[in-house]
Protein backbone atom coordinates (compact mmCIF):
# COMPACT_ATOMS: atom_id res chain seq x y z
CA UNK A 1 0.00 0.00 0.00
CA UNK A 2 2.74 2.60 0.77
CA UNK A 3 4.35 1.86 -2.61
CA UNK A 4 1.05 2.34 -4.43
CA UNK A 5 0.41 5.54 -2.49
CA UNK A 6 3.85 6.92 -3.39
CA UNK A 7 3.31 6.03 -7.02
CA UNK A 8 -0.11 7.68 -6.95
CA UNK A 9 1.31 10.83 -5.33
CA UNK A 10 4.12 11.04 -7.90
CA UNK A 11 1.65 11.16 -10.78
CA UNK A 12 -0.99 13.42 -9.22
CA UNK A 13 -0.62 16.74 -7.44
CA UNK A 14 -2.39 17.71 -4.23
CA UNK A 15 -5.21 19.40 -6.16
CA UNK A 16 -5.62 16.38 -8.42
CA UNK A 17 -5.83 14.00 -5.47
CA UNK A 18 -8.31 16.30 -3.74
CA UNK A 19 -10.58 16.46 -6.78
CA UNK A 20 -10.45 12.73 -7.43
CA UNK A 21 -11.20 12.00 -3.77
CA UNK A 22 -14.23 14.30 -3.81
CA UNK A 23 -15.54 12.66 -6.98
CA UNK A 24 -15.02 9.17 -5.57
CA UNK A 25 -16.69 9.89 -2.22
CA UNK A 26 -19.69 11.44 -3.96
CA UNK A 27 -19.90 8.49 -6.35
CA UNK A 28 -19.97 5.98 -3.50
CA UNK A 29 -22.72 7.92 -1.72
CA UNK A 30 -24.91 8.44 -4.79
CA UNK A 31 -24.46 4.91 -6.15
CA UNK A 32 -25.27 3.38 -2.77
CA UNK A 33 -28.54 5.30 -2.52
CA UNK A 34 -29.60 4.47 -6.08
CA UNK A 35 -28.61 0.85 -5.63
CA UNK A 36 -30.62 0.53 -2.42
CA UNK A 37 -33.67 2.03 -4.14
CA UNK A 38 -33.34 -0.49 -6.97
CA UNK A 39 -32.90 -3.41 -4.56
CA UNK A 40 -35.96 -2.38 -2.53
CA UNK A 41 -38.09 -2.10 -5.68
CA UNK A 42 -36.94 -5.44 -7.09
CA UNK A 43 -37.33 -7.14 -3.69
CA UNK A 44 -40.97 -6.00 -3.54
CA UNK A 45 -41.52 -7.42 -7.02
CA UNK A 46 -40.04 -10.82 -6.16
CA UNK A 47 -41.93 -10.89 -2.88
CA UNK A 48 -45.21 -10.31 -4.72
CA UNK A 49 -44.44 -13.18 -7.11
CA UNK A 50 -43.61 -15.46 -4.19
CA UNK A 51 -46.86 -14.51 -2.44
CA UNK A 52 -48.81 -15.48 -5.57
CA UNK A 53 -47.04 -18.84 -5.68
CA UNK A 54 -45.23 -18.10 -8.93
CA UNK A 55 -41.77 -18.09 -7.34
CA UNK A 56 -40.25 -20.16 -4.51
CA UNK A 57 -39.38 -17.96 -1.56
CA UNK A 58 -35.98 -19.55 -0.95
CA UNK A 59 -34.45 -18.14 -4.14
CA UNK A 60 -35.59 -14.52 -3.73
CA UNK A 61 -32.27 -13.30 -2.34
CA UNK A 62 -30.30 -15.19 -4.99
CA UNK A 63 -32.30 -13.56 -7.76
CA UNK A 64 -31.97 -10.24 -5.96
CA UNK A 65 -28.18 -10.61 -6.02
CA UNK A 66 -28.16 -11.34 -9.75
CA UNK A 67 -30.47 -8.45 -10.63
CA UNK A 68 -28.72 -5.94 -8.36
CA UNK A 69 -25.35 -6.75 -9.90
CA UNK A 70 -26.71 -6.42 -13.42
CA UNK A 71 -28.19 -3.01 -12.52
CA UNK A 72 -24.81 -1.49 -11.75
CA UNK A 73 -24.00 -0.76 -15.40
CA UNK A 74 -27.16 1.39 -15.54
CA UNK A 75 -26.62 3.07 -12.17
CA UNK A 76 -22.94 3.98 -12.60
CA UNK A 77 -23.38 6.48 -15.51
CA UNK A 78 -25.99 8.57 -13.71
CA UNK A 79 -24.09 8.03 -10.45
CA UNK A 80 -20.94 9.48 -12.03
CA UNK A 81 -22.94 12.43 -13.37
CA UNK A 82 -24.44 13.23 -9.97
CA UNK A 83 -21.08 12.66 -8.24
CA UNK A 84 -19.35 15.29 -10.37
CA UNK A 85 -22.35 17.59 -9.92
CA UNK A 86 -22.23 17.21 -6.12
CA UNK A 87 -18.48 17.71 -5.84
CA UNK A 88 -18.29 20.63 -8.28
CA UNK A 89 -21.43 22.24 -6.88
CA UNK A 90 -20.09 22.16 -3.35
CA UNK A 91 -16.73 23.58 -4.40
CA UNK A 92 -18.45 26.28 -6.41
CA UNK A 93 -20.74 27.34 -3.56
CA UNK A 94 -17.81 27.32 -1.11
CA UNK A 95 -15.77 29.45 -3.55
CA UNK A 96 -13.10 26.75 -3.81
CA UNK A 97 -13.17 26.92 -7.60
CA UNK A 98 -12.70 30.69 -7.40
CA UNK A 99 -9.70 30.26 -5.10
CA UNK A 100 -8.23 27.64 -7.45
CA UNK A 101 -8.58 30.00 -10.39
CA UNK A 102 -7.00 32.84 -8.39
CA UNK A 103 -4.05 30.58 -7.54
CA UNK A 104 -3.41 29.94 -11.21
CA UNK A 105 -5.02 26.51 -11.50
CA UNK A 106 -6.57 26.44 -14.97
CA UNK A 107 -9.94 24.94 -15.83
CA UNK A 108 -8.11 22.48 -18.06
CA UNK A 109 -6.68 20.75 -14.98
CA UNK A 110 -10.15 20.27 -13.54
CA UNK A 111 -11.38 18.91 -16.87
CA UNK A 112 -8.44 16.49 -16.99
CA UNK A 113 -9.32 15.16 -13.54
CA UNK A 114 -12.94 14.71 -14.56
CA UNK A 115 -11.76 12.84 -17.65
CA UNK A 116 -9.55 10.57 -15.54
CA UNK A 117 -12.39 9.90 -13.11
CA UNK A 118 -14.98 9.30 -15.86
CA UNK A 119 -12.58 7.07 -17.82
CA UNK A 120 -12.06 4.81 -14.79
CA UNK A 121 -15.82 4.58 -14.27
CA UNK A 122 -16.30 3.99 -18.01
CA UNK A 123 -13.88 1.03 -17.89
CA UNK A 124 -15.87 -0.44 -15.02
CA UNK A 125 -19.12 0.12 -16.92
CA UNK A 126 -17.59 -1.52 -20.00
CA UNK A 127 -16.55 -4.63 -18.06
CA UNK A 128 -20.02 -4.84 -16.56
CA UNK A 129 -22.09 -4.22 -19.69
CA UNK A 130 -19.97 -6.23 -22.14
CA UNK A 131 -18.84 -9.20 -20.04
CA UNK A 132 -20.18 -9.52 -16.50
CA UNK A 133 -23.84 -8.48 -16.89
CA UNK A 134 -24.62 -10.90 -19.79
CA UNK A 135 -23.21 -13.80 -17.76
CA UNK A 136 -25.08 -12.77 -14.62
CA UNK A 137 -28.29 -12.18 -16.58
CA UNK A 138 -28.01 -15.63 -18.16
CA UNK A 139 -27.64 -17.33 -14.77
CA UNK A 140 -30.44 -15.26 -13.29
CA UNK A 141 -32.74 -16.00 -16.24
CA UNK A 142 -32.14 -19.76 -15.97
CA UNK A 143 -32.62 -19.71 -12.20
CA UNK A 144 -35.86 -17.75 -12.42
CA UNK A 145 -37.32 -19.96 -15.15
CA UNK A 146 -36.34 -23.15 -13.31
CA UNK A 147 -37.86 -21.70 -10.15
CA UNK A 148 -41.11 -20.99 -11.96
CA UNK A 149 -41.16 -24.56 -13.25
CA UNK A 150 -40.55 -25.80 -9.72
CA UNK A 151 -43.44 -23.64 -8.53
CA UNK A 152 -45.69 -25.27 -11.13
CA UNK A 153 -44.82 -28.78 -9.91
CA UNK A 154 -44.42 -28.04 -6.20
CA UNK A 155 -48.17 -28.26 -5.69
CA UNK A 156 -48.31 -31.72 -7.16
CA UNK A 157 -48.63 -33.82 -4.05
CA UNK A 158 -48.71 -37.58 -4.56
CA UNK A 159 -52.30 -38.76 -5.05
CA UNK A 160 -53.78 -35.24 -5.44
CA UNK A 161 -55.06 -33.38 -8.47
CA UNK A 162 -54.00 -29.90 -9.44
CA UNK A 163 -55.40 -27.55 -12.04
CA UNK A 164 -53.33 -25.30 -14.25
CA UNK A 165 -53.39 -21.55 -13.69
CA UNK A 166 -55.97 -20.93 -16.41
CA UNK A 167 -58.05 -23.99 -15.46
CA UNK A 168 -57.75 -25.67 -18.86
CA UNK A 169 -55.69 -28.61 -17.64
CA UNK A 170 -55.96 -31.04 -14.76
CA UNK A 171 -52.72 -32.66 -13.54
CA UNK A 172 -52.23 -35.76 -11.51
CA UNK A 173 -48.92 -37.24 -10.47
CA UNK A 174 -48.18 -40.27 -8.38
CA UNK A 175 -44.97 -38.67 -7.17
CA UNK A 176 -42.15 -36.23 -7.89
CA UNK A 177 -38.48 -36.78 -8.61
CA UNK A 178 -35.87 -35.93 -5.99
CA UNK A 179 -35.04 -32.56 -7.56
CA UNK A 180 -38.76 -31.61 -7.66
CA UNK A 181 -38.42 -30.81 -11.37
CA UNK A 182 -40.06 -33.95 -12.79
CA UNK A 183 -43.22 -36.01 -12.28
CA UNK A 184 -43.72 -39.77 -12.12
CA UNK A 185 -46.80 -41.62 -13.47
CA UNK A 186 -48.48 -38.56 -14.91
CA UNK A 187 -52.15 -38.19 -15.80
CA UNK A 188 -53.31 -35.07 -17.66
CA UNK A 189 -56.78 -34.13 -18.87
CA UNK A 190 -57.18 -31.20 -21.26
CA UNK A 191 -60.67 -29.69 -21.10
CA UNK A 192 -62.02 -29.17 -24.61
CA UNK A 193 -65.57 -28.72 -25.78
CA UNK A 194 -65.19 -30.68 -29.03
CA UNK A 195 -62.86 -33.58 -28.19
CA UNK A 196 -61.49 -34.11 -24.71
CA UNK A 197 -57.89 -35.27 -24.58
CA UNK A 198 -56.25 -37.42 -21.92
CA UNK A 199 -52.54 -38.20 -21.54
CA UNK A 200 -51.00 -40.92 -19.41
CA UNK A 201 -47.22 -41.16 -19.20
CA UNK A 202 -44.56 -42.83 -17.11
CA UNK A 203 -42.76 -39.52 -16.47
CA UNK A 204 -42.90 -35.85 -17.34
CA UNK A 205 -40.96 -32.62 -16.88
CA UNK A 206 -41.08 -28.98 -17.92
CA UNK A 207 -38.72 -27.40 -20.44
CA UNK A 208 -38.35 -23.81 -21.64
CA UNK A 209 -37.43 -22.82 -25.16
CA UNK A 210 -34.28 -20.72 -24.89
CA UNK A 211 -35.21 -18.67 -27.97
CA UNK A 212 -38.79 -17.56 -27.31
CA UNK A 213 -39.32 -18.44 -23.63
CA UNK A 214 -42.28 -20.78 -24.29
CA UNK A 215 -42.86 -23.43 -21.62
CA UNK A 216 -43.44 -27.06 -22.68
CA UNK A 217 -44.44 -30.15 -20.74
CA UNK A 218 -42.46 -33.14 -22.03
CA UNK A 219 -44.17 -36.51 -21.48
CA UNK A 220 -42.28 -39.76 -21.93
CA UNK A 221 -43.46 -43.36 -22.49
CA UNK A 222 -47.21 -42.93 -22.51
CA UNK A 223 -50.53 -42.94 -24.34
CA UNK A 224 -52.83 -40.24 -25.70
CA UNK A 225 -56.62 -40.71 -25.69
CA UNK A 226 -58.63 -38.29 -27.83
CA UNK A 227 -62.42 -38.17 -28.11
CA UNK A 228 -65.33 -39.71 -26.25
CA UNK A 229 -65.13 -43.38 -25.32
CA UNK A 230 -67.35 -45.48 -27.64
CA UNK A 231 -67.26 -43.00 -30.54
CA UNK A 232 -66.01 -44.11 -33.93
CA UNK A 233 -63.40 -41.36 -34.05
CA UNK A 234 -61.94 -42.27 -30.66
CA UNK A 235 -58.13 -42.24 -31.01
CA UNK A 236 -55.53 -44.08 -28.93
CA UNK A 237 -51.90 -43.24 -29.72
CA UNK A 238 -48.73 -44.47 -28.06
CA UNK A 239 -45.69 -42.20 -27.89
CA UNK A 240 -42.14 -42.32 -26.64
CA UNK A 241 -41.98 -38.57 -26.14
CA UNK A 242 -44.67 -35.92 -26.49
CA UNK A 243 -44.44 -32.17 -25.89
CA UNK A 244 -47.35 -29.98 -24.87
CA UNK A 245 -47.31 -26.19 -24.99
CA UNK A 246 -48.16 -25.05 -21.49
CA UNK A 247 -47.43 -21.34 -21.74
CA UNK A 248 -46.46 -19.34 -24.80
CA UNK A 249 -43.44 -17.09 -24.41
CA UNK A 250 -44.18 -13.40 -24.18
CA UNK A 251 -42.31 -10.63 -25.95
CA UNK A 252 -40.77 -9.55 -22.64
CA UNK A 253 -39.29 -13.01 -22.13
CA UNK A 254 -37.76 -12.92 -25.61
CA UNK A 255 -36.20 -9.53 -24.84
CA UNK A 256 -34.82 -10.77 -21.52
CA UNK A 257 -33.30 -13.81 -23.21
CA UNK A 258 -31.74 -11.60 -25.89
CA UNK A 259 -30.23 -9.31 -23.25
CA UNK A 260 -28.58 -12.34 -21.66
CA UNK A 261 -26.66 -13.34 -24.80
CA UNK A 262 -22.87 -12.81 -24.60
CA UNK A 263 -21.45 -9.92 -26.59
CA UNK A 264 -19.27 -12.24 -28.69
CA UNK A 265 -22.31 -14.30 -29.70
CA UNK A 266 -24.25 -11.16 -30.62
CA UNK A 267 -21.35 -10.03 -32.81
CA UNK A 268 -21.19 -13.42 -34.57
CA UNK A 269 -24.92 -13.43 -35.26
CA UNK A 270 -24.78 -9.91 -36.67
CA UNK A 271 -28.52 -9.31 -36.97
CA UNK A 272 -30.14 -5.91 -36.60
CA UNK A 273 -31.36 -6.70 -33.09
CA UNK A 274 -27.92 -8.04 -32.17
CA UNK A 275 -26.11 -4.91 -33.40
CA UNK A 276 -28.64 -2.75 -31.57
CA UNK A 277 -27.94 -4.63 -28.32
CA UNK A 278 -24.16 -4.23 -28.79
CA UNK A 279 -24.55 -0.51 -29.43
CA UNK A 280 -26.69 -0.19 -26.32
CA UNK A 281 -23.98 -1.81 -24.20
CA UNK A 282 -21.21 0.32 -25.70
CA UNK A 283 -23.31 3.47 -25.35
CA UNK A 284 -23.20 3.16 -21.56
CA UNK A 285 -19.41 3.58 -21.75
CA UNK A 286 -19.50 6.65 -23.98
CA UNK A 287 -22.41 8.17 -22.07
CA UNK A 288 -20.46 8.02 -18.79
CA UNK A 289 -17.65 10.22 -20.13
CA UNK A 290 -19.92 12.69 -21.91
CA UNK A 291 -22.21 13.14 -18.91
CA UNK A 292 -19.27 13.82 -16.59
CA UNK A 293 -17.93 16.50 -18.95
CA UNK A 294 -21.38 18.02 -19.16
CA UNK A 295 -21.62 18.07 -15.35
CA UNK A 296 -18.68 20.50 -15.13
CA UNK A 297 -20.68 23.29 -16.73
CA UNK A 298 -24.03 22.36 -15.23
CA UNK A 299 -22.59 22.33 -11.69
CA UNK A 300 -21.25 25.89 -11.98
CA UNK A 301 -24.63 27.54 -11.52
CA UNK A 302 -23.16 30.99 -10.90
CA UNK A 303 -23.35 33.46 -8.00
CA UNK A 304 -26.39 33.72 -5.71
CA UNK A 305 -27.56 30.28 -6.75
CA UNK A 306 -27.61 27.13 -4.64
CA UNK A 307 -25.28 24.23 -5.17
CA UNK A 308 -28.20 22.10 -6.37
CA UNK A 309 -29.44 24.57 -8.99
CA UNK A 310 -28.00 22.53 -11.85
CA UNK A 311 -29.42 19.18 -10.77
CA UNK A 312 -32.75 19.52 -12.57
CA UNK A 313 -31.14 20.35 -15.95
CA UNK A 314 -28.63 17.52 -15.41
CA UNK A 315 -31.30 14.92 -14.72
CA UNK A 316 -33.36 16.25 -17.63
CA UNK A 317 -30.37 15.90 -19.95
CA UNK A 318 -29.79 12.34 -18.71
CA UNK A 319 -33.42 11.39 -19.34
CA UNK A 320 -33.35 12.86 -22.86
CA UNK A 321 -29.97 11.25 -23.57
CA UNK A 322 -31.01 7.77 -22.42
CA UNK A 323 -34.40 7.97 -24.16
CA UNK A 324 -32.76 8.96 -27.45
CA UNK A 325 -30.46 5.96 -27.11
CA UNK A 326 -33.45 3.74 -26.36
CA UNK A 327 -35.38 5.01 -29.39
CA UNK A 328 -32.32 4.55 -31.59
CA UNK A 329 -31.93 1.03 -30.26
CA UNK A 330 -35.51 0.22 -31.26
CA UNK A 331 -35.02 1.78 -34.72
CA UNK A 332 -31.86 -0.24 -35.39
CA UNK A 333 -33.47 -3.42 -34.06
CA UNK A 334 -36.47 -3.02 -36.39
CA UNK A 335 -34.34 -2.05 -39.39
CA UNK A 336 -35.65 1.53 -39.57
CA UNK A 337 -32.15 2.99 -39.09
CA UNK A 338 -28.89 1.69 -40.52
CA UNK A 339 -26.77 -0.09 -37.86
CA UNK A 340 -23.70 1.83 -39.05
CA UNK A 341 -25.35 5.12 -38.11
CA UNK A 342 -27.00 3.71 -34.99
CA UNK A 343 -26.37 5.46 -31.71
CA UNK A 344 -23.48 7.48 -33.15
CA UNK A 345 -25.68 10.47 -33.94
CA UNK A 346 -26.90 10.68 -30.34
CA UNK A 347 -23.35 10.77 -28.95
CA UNK A 348 -22.28 13.30 -31.60
CA UNK A 349 -25.22 15.52 -30.68
CA UNK A 350 -24.29 15.42 -27.00
CA UNK A 351 -20.63 16.08 -27.80
CA UNK A 352 -21.64 19.15 -29.80
CA UNK A 353 -23.63 20.39 -26.80
CA UNK A 354 -20.60 19.84 -24.54
CA UNK A 355 -18.30 21.70 -26.95
CA UNK A 356 -20.75 24.60 -27.19
CA UNK A 357 -21.01 24.88 -23.40
CA UNK A 358 -17.24 24.88 -22.98
CA UNK A 359 -16.78 27.52 -25.69
CA UNK A 360 -19.91 29.60 -25.22
CA UNK A 361 -17.91 32.75 -24.35
CA UNK A 362 -15.82 32.43 -27.50
CA UNK A 363 -18.91 31.78 -29.58
CA UNK A 364 -20.63 34.79 -28.04
CA UNK A 365 -17.60 36.94 -28.79
CA UNK A 366 -17.51 35.73 -32.40
CA UNK A 367 -21.21 36.41 -32.74
CA UNK A 368 -20.78 39.94 -31.42
CA UNK A 369 -17.91 40.51 -33.84
CA UNK A 370 -20.07 39.26 -36.66
CA UNK A 371 -22.95 41.55 -35.68
CA UNK A 372 -20.54 44.49 -35.38
CA UNK A 373 -19.01 43.80 -38.80
CA UNK A 374 -22.47 43.40 -40.30
CA UNK A 375 -23.58 46.75 -38.82
CA UNK A 376 -20.57 48.53 -40.33
CA UNK A 377 -21.37 47.17 -43.76
Q: Structural domain tally of the chain?
A: 2
Regarding whether 306 and 268 lie in a shared domain, the answer is: yes
- Return the pLDDT at 111: 87
Average pLDDT, the chain: 80
Regarding whether 306 and 231 lie in a shared domain, the answer is: no
Highest mean pLDDT among 40-49, 102-111, 286-295, 299-308: 286-295
Residue 158 pLDDT greater than 60, yes or no: no
What does the alpha-carbon distance between residue 291 and residue 79 come to, in Å, rounded to a whole number? 10
Highest mean pLDDT among 89-98, 127-136, 171-180, 356-365: 127-136
User: 13-36 burial string, b = 16+ CB within 10 Å, else e?
Assistant: eeebebbbebbeebbeebbeebbe
Phi, psi of 157 (to 5 degrees): -85, 140
Residue 254 pLDDT greater than 60, yes or no: no
In a domain, 123, yes or no: yes
What is the extent of the structural domain holding 222?
A: 155-249
Arithmetic mean of pLDDT, 364-373: 77
Regarding whether 179 and 43 lie in a shared domain, the answer is: no
Nearest to 290 by CA among 318, 262, 258, 253: 318
C-alpha distances in angstroms, 61 versus 6, 40, 47, 65, 305?
A: 41, 12, 10, 6, 44
In a domain, 345, yes or no: yes
Residue 121 pLDDT greater than 90, yes or no: yes
Arithmetic mean of pLDDT, 333-349: 86
In a domain, 4, yes or no: no
| More confidently predicted of 155 and 258 | 258
Regarding whether 210 and 227 lie in a shared domain, the answer is: yes
Domain boundary among 249, 270, 292: 249
Give the model's confidence band at 243: pLDDT under 50 very low, under 70 low, under 90 confident, else very high.
confident
Q: Are 196 and 190 in contact (CB under 8 A)?
A: yes
Nearest to 94 by CA among 297, 296, 294, 300: 300
Domain boundary among 249, 274, 294: 249
Residue 46 pLDDT greater than 70, yes or no: yes
| Phi and psi based region of residue 159 (left: phi greater than 0; alpha: psi -120 to 50; beta: remaining) | left
| More confidently predicted of 111 and 208 | 111
CB contact set of 57 (below 8 Å; sequence gap of 6+): 50
Residue 208 pLDDT greater than 80, yes or no: no
In a domain, 6, yes or no: no
Domain boundary among 201, 232, 249: 249
Model's pTM, two decimal places? 0.76
Highest mean pLDDT among 124-128, 141-145, 210-214: 124-128
In a domain, 169, yes or no: yes
Regarding whether 128 and 17 lie in a shared domain, the answer is: yes
Residue 345 pLDDT greater than 70, yes or no: yes
In a domain, 5, yes or no: no
Q: Are 150 and 54 in contact (CB under 8 A)?
A: no
Regarding whether 265 and 143 lie in a shared domain, the answer is: yes
Phi, psi of 338 (to 5 degrees): -65, 135
Regarding whether 112 and 67 lie in a shared domain, the answer is: yes
Regarding whether 259 and 242 lie in a shared domain, the answer is: no
Determine which of 55-59, 290-294, 361-365 has the lowest per-residue pLDDT on average. Answer: 55-59
In a domain, 3, yes or no: no
C-alpha distances in angstroms, 292 versus 96, 137, 286, 301?
A: 19, 28, 10, 16
Regarding whether 133 and 24 lie in a shared domain, the answer is: yes
Q: Are 317 and 290 in contact (CB under 8 A)?
A: no
In a domain, 1, yes or no: no
Regarding whether 195 and 143 lie in a shared domain, the answer is: no
Regarding whether 295 and 351 lie in a shared domain, the answer is: yes
Regarding whether 237 and 262 lie in a shared domain, the answer is: no
| More confidently predicted of 336 and 121 | 121
Nearest to 54 by CA among 145, 161, 172: 145
- Return the pLDDT at 163: 67
Amino acid sequence: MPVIRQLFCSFFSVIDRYLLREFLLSLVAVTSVLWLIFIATRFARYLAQAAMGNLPGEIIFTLLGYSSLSALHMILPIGALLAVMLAMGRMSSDNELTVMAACGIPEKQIVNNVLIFSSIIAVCVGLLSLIIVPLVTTDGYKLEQNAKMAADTSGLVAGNFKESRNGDWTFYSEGLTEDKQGMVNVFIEIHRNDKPMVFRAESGHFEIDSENGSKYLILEDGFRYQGEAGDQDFIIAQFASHSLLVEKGEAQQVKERHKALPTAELWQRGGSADIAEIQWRVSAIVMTIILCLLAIKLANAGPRKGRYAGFFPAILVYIIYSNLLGVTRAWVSKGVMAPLFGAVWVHLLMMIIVIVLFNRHKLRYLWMQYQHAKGQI
